[in-house]
Amino acid sequence: MRILLIYTGGTIGMVHDSDSGTFIPFDFENLQAQIPELKQLDCELEVHSYEPSIDSSNMHPKVWIQLAETIESAYDDYDGFVILHGSDTMAYTASALSFLLENLNKPVVLTGSQLPSGVPRTDAKENLITAIEIASSYRGGKPVVPEVCVYFEYQLYRGNRTHKVNAENFEAFASVNYPPLAEAGVHLKFNRTAVKSWREGSLIAHKNYNPNIGVLKLYPGISESIVKNTLNHPETEAVILETFGSGNAPTSPWFLKAIAEATARGLLVLNITQCVGGAVELGRYETSKSLKDFGVLSGQDMTFEAAVTKLMFVLAQTEDASERMALITTNLRGEMTL
């Protein structure tokens, strides 16, 4: 198996420099010298590093496009891809790539670490080795996990179902609304029923994102001016409405009027819950019935990261309002449970 390792940046690629006393990116040309266990893996490993490396806090849709292009250009030459990425925005990149890489039939595994690779107790070595092993796992000539996923601390998750839940623990990620694709113990145990099925079709790497979205997170006491400023921004084409519980929102007349006016003029409003787990059920309670009547769309059980990247993706595909609404409410890459 041939695996392409793509280094974008992040803690996983850092080592301690004794001269300066700081952590610096290590030379990936000497990767096997740093992690000799890689030689025991039954695969051929090649490395592509982004220069300069990118701190994940500076992640941008332009980099998502660049990653999609890198994978597209190397797609026929490799059996799987491992992307080393900072953990802070890893779930956004994983979600974005799931939408950009249509008809993906090879593993794309994102991983990183909470501690640099050059320190004691680091989680970098295990995460990297297992991510490569997952990317090179084939049965009957087909990949075991032909989709974009995140591997972190013994768990493999669907990329567009992940959320970073802890800034300090090694168990940094969770997928509350979808089961793990695999668990790494003494053996790799894949959850075959959860993994996307292999399907025929050539890879289509989309090259556009439209970032003209807004986010309106509700909270008790939110002001009319805050709501209107978010909904009425001239460049905003869609807004993520983060609501309470199963999709509930205030019933104040001014709030409902603002939502009604926004959707009437063509603004797409996508309702997702602030809860880590569960789904939006528009109309279940009186506090969400009006939103449904005004044409607010249900994000079901999508993560915030999936909602952001899906909206950016959909807005770039078409300018037709009805087509956009249809795409947003369609389960495109396993990002929501209908």
Catalytically active residues are: 11
Cα distance between the two ends of the chain: 36
State how beta strands 204-205 and 101-102 pair: antiparallel
- CB atoms near residue 297 (< 10 Å): 21
Q: Are 61 and 86 in contact (CB under 8 A)?
A: no
Q: Of 134, 273, 119, give the one whose Cα is nearest residue 190.
A: 134
**Cα(164)–Cα(146) distance, integer angstroms:** 22
| CB distance 260 to 249 below 8 Å | no
- In single-letter form, the type of residue at position 29 comes to E
Given CA atoms 16, 21, 24, 28 in this order, what sign does their dihedral have? Answer: negative
